[in-house]
Amino acid sequence: MSGSGDDAPEADIEEHNRLPAATATRVLEYLVREIVEDADAVRIEVDESSPRVVLNVHVGQGDLGRVIGKRGRVAKSVRRVTRAAAAKDAVEIDIEFVE
């Protein structure tokens, strides 16, 4: 028995997989949502205007410090894991954190 609620997640996944760096974007979104206080404010924009895909991460007011971490260690770790995920997408990425 399939209702309209069952089709929505599949449609979201299909739409998301058409994006460049889809796997990396999903991994990045998951990681950042787990770090910040306001997970609903997390938004990832994909910018393909440069040779590398740039993932701009927008977080809520006051959450940028959590994502950056002391001496940028959290941001560095998030970038490292996300770049590994981008290998599955066969793309090179850069990540920018924006409040």
Task: Give the burial string for 6-28 (b: 16+ CB within 10 Å, else e).
Answer: eeeeeeeeeeeeebbbbbbbbbb
Arithmetic mean of pLDDT over the chain: 86
Smallest CA-to-CA distance from 38 within 67, 59, 56 is with 59
Which CATH code of 3.10.129.10, 3.30.300.20, 1.20.120.420, 3.10.20.340 fits the domain covering 4-98?
Answer: 3.30.300.20
The model's pLDDT over 6-37, given as tens digits with 9 standing for 90+, comes to 555 554 544 445 677 899 999 999 999 999 99
In the chain, what are the domain boundaries?
4-98
Higher pLDDT, 65 or 7: 65
Q: Tell whether the model's pLDDT for residue 71 goes beyond 50.
A: yes
pLDDT number for residue 13: 47
Strand order in the sheet with 53-58: 43-47, 53-58, 93-98
- Statement: the pTM of the whole predicted model exceeds 0.85: no
